[in-house]
């Protein structure tokens, strides 16, 4: 059956997901439109395609036992010079993300894998572009803020064209609405601000 490249992440809801995606594209990041705005739980991982049923069952089990938690983004950070990334910081909800990704990557589960770096929840807004463009992303979003109730996560597959597409949503056991869409009606009880450049 071959292999597939999967990722597991928390979607940043609308209108913030599209807003940050457009800003990322505006900074010159060519990958922006192929990557829905997200907080990574499992980074790109190549697996045998016949493992998908077991992976889906595992994710459903993790989601059913999990509960919603507040997410808040504020300001920017960077992994430079170690890695060419500028991101919006997760200032509330980091503990929930860390616990969730640990359960998703459970060593006894089908998505067990080592990470190249210690887990650090964040929302990438620039990756692998010029230093000047990275500096612009860092300063433009310095006053950015958004918050929402995280009620689930999703499984994505990367196509041969490099675009990440959602395979399935996994709402938490008490989550009434599941994973926020990347495009559509604005989420209630959430806000975002961007400092004019």
pLDDT tens for 90-103 read 999 999 999 999 99
Residues 112/72, Cβ–Cβ less than 8 Å: no
Q: How high is the pLDDT of residue 195? A: 46
pLDDT, averaged across the chain: 89
Report the pLDDT value the prediction gives residue 113, as an integer from 0 to 100. Answer: 87
**153 DSSP assignment:** E
pLDDT at 117: 85
Question: What was the pLDDT predicted at 115?
Answer: 86
Confidence check: pLDDT of 181 > 80:
no
Which three-class secondary structure string do you get for 135-186? Answer: HHHHHHCCCCEEEEEECEEEEEEECCCCCEEEEEEEECCCCCCCCCCCCCCC
% of the chain with per-residue pLDDT over 90: 82
pLDDT reported for residue 82: 85
pTM of the predicted model as reported, rounded to 2 decimal places: 0.85
pLDDT band at 176 (very low <50, low <70, confident <90, very high): very low
């Amino acid at each position: 059956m071959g292999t597939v490249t999967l990722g597991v992440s928390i979607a940043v809801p609308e209108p913030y997901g599209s807003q940050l995606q457009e800003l990322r594209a505006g900074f010159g990041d060519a990958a922006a439109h192929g990557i829905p705005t997200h907080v990574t739980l499992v980074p790109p991982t190549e697996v045998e395609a016949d493992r998908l049923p077991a992976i889906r069952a595992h994710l459903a089990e993790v989601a059913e036992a999990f509960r919603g938690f507040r997410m808040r983004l504020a300001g920017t950070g960077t992994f430079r010079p170690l890695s060419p990334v500028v991101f919006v910081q997760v200032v509330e909800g980091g503990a929930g993300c860390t616990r969730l990704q640990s359960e998703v990557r459970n060593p006894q589960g089908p998505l067990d894998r080592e990470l190249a770096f210690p887990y650090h929840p964040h929302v990438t807004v620039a990756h692998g572009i010029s230093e000047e463009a990275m500096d612009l992303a860092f300063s433009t979003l310095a006053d950015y803020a958004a918050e929402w109730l995280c009620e689930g996560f999703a499984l994505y597959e990367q196509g041969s064209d490099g675009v990440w597409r959602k395979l399935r949503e996994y709402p938490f056991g008490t989550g009434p609405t599941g994973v926020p869409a990347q495009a559509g009606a604005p989420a209630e009880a959430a806000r975002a601000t961007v400092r004019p450049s």
